[in-house]
């Protein structure tokens, strides 16, 4: 055998076969970035998607020539069949490392990996104390998942603390790895796309624009933003509230609150793929979860600051670790419409403060949340 062929064959054999198992996701930039940035000379990556049908993530992976299998998964009644099918796929791919994301994928993927005797079984904990607070009976499943995993990725100190303090996980199993972002995407935006989005969502050129990107869940605190915005209309009658990702169990309550605002002054967006350009429509961004531990991470904290939008936050999830009041964002107390309103007014009237928040916000996310740092840490874990 020629030397070059032998070298190529040896390199191929030495690659670590990693299977990502993800449930109920349509589009997720995080997985696209991992697929792009993971070292392809050292790792062979494939995906198993538990979804009711096709997805944007699946199409992205196919376009990148990354192996992807879809298991039709609509509800818990599909659990056992999904475990068996996942077991078969893990065997077929000769997987040596399994990394699962989101609750159903954790249940299915880690169970199948255990049955397949895969020694490296990793899951990323994407929720915080959600089950402890809202669904206590589900905590036993979290503990089962913790037992199955050989390694757990905690995406913030809040998550790490809950795993250790509330679920008694051995700290040796836990790895603190922050979400990483391809931060260039937030500056290298398409001006033509920004214009198109502006014409679509704000055709009357209303100003100022207050942005919210959050599912309609009680824990996200949107019910405190709307009264604050209503109050803002008193001094800024042409303000526009843009609500994106408008789906969730709290939708009916949110819709009732929106009835108090003129229809011309708000717009709801169920899904927008051009997320980087959407942020550029905002003069202010607001994200105000209702408790310190309710967010596991909170990607919008990083995204809004990376986009250069002066932001108003409550401290939850990852914000506890890097957001500083009046330095890189305005921090308000939980469940306080009045403080949100006051912060909005101050940002709109104090250009120097707004500029300071923008500069410091972009600086801190660049220091802490680059994609390369996350990838390097993951690669060490996979080895």
User: Average of pLDDT values for 143-165?
Assistant: 98
Q: Backbone phi, then psi, for 273, in 5-degree steps?
A: -70, -30
User: CA–CA separation, 184 vs 276, rounded Å?
Assistant: 10
User: Average of pLDDT values for 177-192?
Assistant: 94
User: CA–CA separation, 352 vs 311, rounded Å?
Assistant: 14
User: CA–CA separation, 303 vs 298, rounded Å?
Assistant: 9
Q: Which residues contact 178 (CB under 8 A, 6 or more apart)?
A: 155, 156, 297, 318, 368, 369, 373, 374
Q: Give the whole-number percent of the chain exceeding pLDDT 90.
A: 95
Decide if pLDDT at 373 tops 80.
yes
User: Average of pLDDT values for 143-160?
Assistant: 98
Res 89: pLDDT: 98
Q: Give the whole-number percent of the chain exceeding pLDDT 70.
A: 97
Q: How would residue 4 be classed by pLDDT, with cut points 50, 70 and 90?
A: low
Helices (H), ranges, 15-156: 29-37, 56-63, 79-92, 103-115, 130-134, 139-148
Res 13: pLDDT: 56
Give 316's DSSP letter.
-
Q: H/E element holding 6?
A: helix 3-14
Global pTM reads: 0.91
Decide if pLDDT at 11 tops 60.
no
Tokens (6 digits) for 303: 């995204």
Decide if pLDDT at 237 tops 70.
yes
User: CA–CA separation, 193 vs 173, rounded Å?
Assistant: 44
Q: Backbone phi, then psi, for 116, in 5-degree steps?
A: -85, 0
Q: How would residue 6 be classed by pLDDT, with cut points 50, 70 and 90?
A: very low
Q: H/E element holding 175?
A: strand 174-176
User: Average of pLDDT values for 254-267?
Assistant: 97
Res 378: pLDDT: 97
User: Average of pLDDT values for 230-237?
Assistant: 98
Q: pLDDT per residue over 37-68, tens digit each?
A: 999 999 999 999 999 999 999 999 999 999 99
Domains observed in the chain: 3-182+371-382 (3.40.50.2000), 183-368 (3.40.50.2000)
Decide if pLDDT at 214 tops 80.
yes
Res 2: pLDDT: 55
Res 14: pLDDT: 77
Res 10: pLDDT: 46
């Amino acid at each position: 055998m020629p030397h070059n062929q032998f070298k190529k064959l040896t390199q191929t054999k030495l690659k670590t076969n990693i299977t990502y198992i993800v449930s109920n996701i349509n589009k997720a930039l995080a997985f696209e970035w991992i697929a792009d940035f993971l070292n392809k000379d050292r790792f062979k990556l494939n995906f198993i998607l538990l979804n009711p049908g096709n997805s944007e993530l699946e199409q992205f992976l196919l376009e990148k020539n990354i192996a992807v299998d879809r298991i039709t998964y609509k509800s818990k009644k599909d659990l056992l069949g999904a475990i068996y099918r996942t077991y078969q796929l893990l065997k077929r791919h000769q997987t040596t490392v399994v990394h699962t994301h989101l609750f159903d994928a954790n249940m299915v993927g880690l169970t199948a990996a255990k049955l397949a005797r895969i020694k490296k079984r990793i899951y990323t904990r994407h929720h915080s104390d959600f089950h402890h607070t809202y669904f206590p009976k589900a905590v036993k499943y979290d503990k089962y998942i913790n037992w199955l995993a050989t390694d757990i990725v905690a995406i913030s100190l809040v998550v790490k603390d809950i795993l250790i303090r509330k679920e008694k996980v051995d700290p040796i199993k836990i790895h603190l790895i922050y979400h990483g972002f391809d931060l260039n995407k937030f500056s290298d935006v398409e001006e033509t796309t920004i214009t198109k989005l502006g014409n679509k969502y704000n055709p009357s050129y209303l100003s100022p624009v207050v942005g919210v990107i959050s599912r309609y869940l009680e824990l996200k605190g949107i019910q405190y933003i709307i009264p604050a915005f209503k109050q803002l209309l008193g001094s800024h009658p042409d303000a526009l509230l843009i609500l994106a990702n408008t789906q969730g169990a709290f939708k009916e309550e949110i819709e009732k609150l929106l009835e108090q605002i003129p229809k011309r002054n708000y717009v709801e967006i169920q899904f927008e793929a051009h997320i980087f350009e959407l942020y550029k429509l905002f003069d202010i961004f607001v994200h105000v979860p209702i408790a310190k531990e309710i967010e596991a991470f909170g990607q919008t904290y990083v995204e809004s600051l990376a986009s250069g939008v002066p932001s108003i936050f409550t401290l939850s999830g990852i914000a506890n670790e890097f957001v500083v009041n009046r330095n890189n964002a305005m921090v308000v107390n939980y469940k306080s419409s009045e403080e949100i309103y006051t912060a909005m007014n101050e940002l709109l009237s104090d250009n120097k403060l707004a500029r300071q928040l923008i500069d410091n916000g972009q600086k801190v996310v660049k220091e802490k949340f680059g994609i390369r740092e996350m990838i390097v840490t993951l690669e060490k874990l996979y080895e």
